[in-house]
Amino acid sequence: MATRIRPSSKRCAVIGGSGFLGRHLVERLVEKGYSVAVFDIAQRYEVSGVTFHQGDLCNKQDLLKVLKDVSLVFHCASPAPGCNDRNLFWRVNVEGTRTVIQACQQAGVQKLVLTSSASVVFEGTDIMNGKEDLPYAKRPIDYYTETKIKQEKLVLEACSKEKDFLTVAIRPHGIFGPRDPQLVPILVDTARKGKMKFIIGDGTNLVDFTYVDNVVHGHILAAEHLRPDSPLCGKAYHITNDDPIRFWDFMSQVLVGLGYDAPRYHLPYSLVYGIAMLLWIITFLLRPVVNIKPTFTPMRVALAGTHHYYSCSRAKQDMGYQPVSSAYRPLDRGKNGDIGAVAQSRRTGEEV
Ligand SMILES: NC(=O)C1=CN([C@@H]2O[C@H](COP(=O)(O)OP(=O)(O)OC[C@H]3O[C@@H](n4cnc5c(N)ncnc54)[C@H](O)[C@@H]3O)[C@@H](O)[C@H]2O)C=CC1
Ligand SMILES: CC(C)CCC[C@@H](C)[C@H]1CC[C@H]2C3=C(CC[C@]12C)[C@@]1(C)CCC(=O)C[C@@H]1CC3
């Protein structure tokens, strides 16, 4: 029987490596001396020493070409949470992740680190200092959450010491930082349309917004601590700034920092949630005729009006996690308005 030569543990692949989080992860891995292959449906940048492979993760043959000589895989690809296409979410997050697992096993990959989401336990009601043992949402609030739950279960259940295939899931929440395609752009777009005048609820709800460097750090620590004898095998880990902030303070600081007015007038949470639900039903019924994208989806309203912050004590205990960038407040924006650039400058010492 032919023996397979194990690739170096510093050879890895990042599926979804062209995305926001993926690119930060790739850059940090390169800094740490890893040799990195990116697999993504699109190539959006170039980094010396990184190889790019354009392909769909639902295609096993495409994946096998890249995974054949890596020992570690990070899977951080997903359709954008705001997209409302159930078939796409199922195809990529569920069927595609099944294909990723099979391809990893067939190629002899030893470790798979999944980017899951803390939203897998969020049902639209308050979560305060939530630990990883909270049950998965029984009534997921949207297709994104529904398929992230399935995806996480698939990856964690595939963990097998006998098969020499170890898995772990990282659950970040509300990631922000340089090149964020979602949080600040959606917020600014909403403000430009004059729709950010209202505070949903009493405005005191605490949430986690997590700086992208911390999320990257959590992923790499998880990969490096994932061994057959470690407690990480087949487990999920919250990664946060360990510094929850009032949702509406964060929003106001970003908006005021960028020259917009802070939201001022309060609206009752249940009223706004009810309207968002009604709008969602109407857009669903009208979808065969016209494709409308409401700004205030039930998921966004729920996130804006409830507490949702999580404990990262399991990550501290099992992998020595500590936030690498903590005392950041979004008011400290750069000259160009890129709030993430400020936190990055704290790390690099550059002026922004
Ligand atoms: N941004 C956030 O606040 C949070 C994100 N996450 C998770 O983090 C991960 C990364 O998210 P972001 O970087 O924010 O998103 P992103 O949209 O910037 O990156 C996702 C990447 O996946 C790629 N991709 C999508 N479908 C693919 C397919 N079929 N085959 C190959 N590549 C494909 C896209 O081209 C993109 O480059 C996702 O799994 C997301 O669920 C979890 C919690 C919070
Ligand atoms: C329209 C306003 C009420 C809200 C504008 C800001 C929102 C765009 C963001 C506030 C919390 C964010 C968030 C996510 C996306 C962007 C927000 C809704 C996620 C859903 C991204 C994917 C995840 O896994 C969980 C995130 C939770 C927080």
Q: What is the DSSP string of 204-255?
A: --EE--EEHHHHHHHHHHHHHH--TTSTTTTEEEE---S--EEHHHHHHHHH
Report the amino acid identity of residue 282.
I
Query: Which is catalytic among the residues 34, 143, 144, 321?
Result: 144
The residue whose C-alpha atom lies closest to atom 40 belonging to ligand 1 is 78
Which pLDDT value is given to residue 328? 53
- Does residue 144 carry a catalytic annotation? yes
pTM, 2 dp? 0.92
Length of the chain: 352
CB count within 10 Å of CB 91 equals 16
Run of H or E residues at 87: helix 86-89
The closest ligand to the CA of 195 turns out to be 2
The residue whose C-alpha atom lies closest to atom 22 belonging to ligand 1 is 77
ipTM for the predicted complex comes to 0.97
C-alpha of residue 182 to centroid of ligand 2, in Å: 8
Pocket test for ligand 2, best of 121, 141, 183 (most atoms within 8 A of CB): 183
Rounded CA separation 203/43 (Å): 40
Which pLDDT value is given to residue 293? 82
- 304 CB within 6 A, ligand 2: yes
Rounded CA separation 32/9 (Å): 13
SS3 letters across 15-32: ECCCCHHHHHHHHHHHHC
Pairing of strands 245-246, 198-200: unpaired
CB count within 10 Å of CB 8 equals 12
The closest ligand to the CA of 300 turns out to be 2
Pocket test for ligand 1, best of 73, 78, 300, 312 (most atoms within 8 A of CB): 78
The CATH class, in words, for 11-180+209-241+310-329 is alpha beta
Q: What is the pLDDT of residues 269-322, one digit of tens each?
A: 999 999 999 999 999 899 888 888 888 999 999 999 999 999 999 999 999 999
Average pLDDT for consecutive 10-residue bins of the chain (352 residues)? Answer: 62 98 98 97 95 98 96 97 92 98 98 98 97 97 96 98 97 96 93 94 96 97 97 98 96 93 95 94 89 88 97 98 71 44 40 38
